[in-house]
């Protein structure tokens, strides 16, 4: 596996159009699990998009490899398993196909967790086996097994979710 240097870069409001395009690719990929269709304009039109620049507990980031867009991560504090807690949640996590299975997603996840210390919640759709495999590996390694894996039932789908706290974590995965 070729592990490339990965950068996590906050998405500025002037870069919204780039993120919007990447979200369309993500939504297309994810449609096999949520069965969504495009709207009358041929777009999936992520409904929470603009909130990432108007609500303080939402954080949009690009994943970049060699200064090229490789994906994105959207963080918020909307949690299903830790309601009322001041936890962070991976709202959306996307690595473009070209960069998958190269360690890019794992390095991006570790960096984003290290950037935001505290309680975390990471959910996976019940039918997304690739996501479940990926997050199991990343979170087991990242937390050294100090996590809980729980069933989750959202208003739209059923799946599973990891909860953990990274306040006492030292160092980054190589």
Residue 49 is part of a domain; what is its CATH number?
3.40.630.30
Work out the pLDDT band at 32, boundaries 50, 70, 90.
low
User: For residue 174, is it within any domain?
Assistant: no
User: For residue 172, is it within any domain?
Assistant: no
Give me the domain span that covers residue 10.
6-165
Mean pLDDT of 78-94: 87
User: For residue 171, is it within any domain?
Assistant: no
> Which one has a higher pLDDT value, 80 or 15?
15
Q: How many domains is the chain built from?
A: 1
Report whether 59 contacts 19 (CB < 8 A): no
User: For residue 170, is it within any domain?
Assistant: no
d(CA 101, CA 121) in angstroms, rounded, equals 23
- Asked if residue 111 has pLDDT above 60, the reply is yes
User: For residue 75, is it within any domain?
Assistant: yes
User: For residue 173, is it within any domain?
Assistant: no
Instruction: Kindly give the residue spans of alpha helices, DSSP state H, lying in the chain.
Output: 16-34, 104-115, 129-143
Q: What pLDDT, in 10s, does the model give residues 133-170?
A: 999 999 999 999 999 999 998 888 889 999 999 988 76
User: For residue 45, is it within any domain?
Assistant: yes
């Amino acid at each position: 596996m070729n592990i490339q240097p990965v950068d996590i870069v906050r998405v500025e409001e002037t870069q919204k159009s780039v993120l919007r395009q990447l979200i369309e690719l993500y939504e297309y990929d994810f449609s096999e699990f949520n069965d969504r269709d495009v709207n009358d304009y041929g777009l999936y039109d992520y409904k929470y998009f603009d909130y990432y620049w108007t609500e303080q507990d939402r954080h949009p980031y690009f994943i970049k490899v060699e200064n090229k867009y490789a994906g994105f991560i959207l963080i918020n504090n909307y949690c299903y398993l830790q309601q009322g807690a001041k936890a962070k949640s991976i709202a959306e996590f996307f690595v473009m196909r070209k960069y998958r299975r190269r360690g890019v997603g794992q390095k991006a996840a570790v960096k984003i967790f290290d950037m935001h210390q505290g309680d975390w919640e990471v959910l996976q759709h019940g039918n997304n086996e690739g996501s479940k495999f990926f997050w199991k590996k990343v979170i087991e390694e990242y937390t050294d097994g100090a996590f809980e894996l729980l069933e989750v039932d959202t208003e739209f789908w059923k799946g599973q979710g990891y909860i953990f706290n990274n306040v006492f974590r030292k160092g980054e995965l190589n």
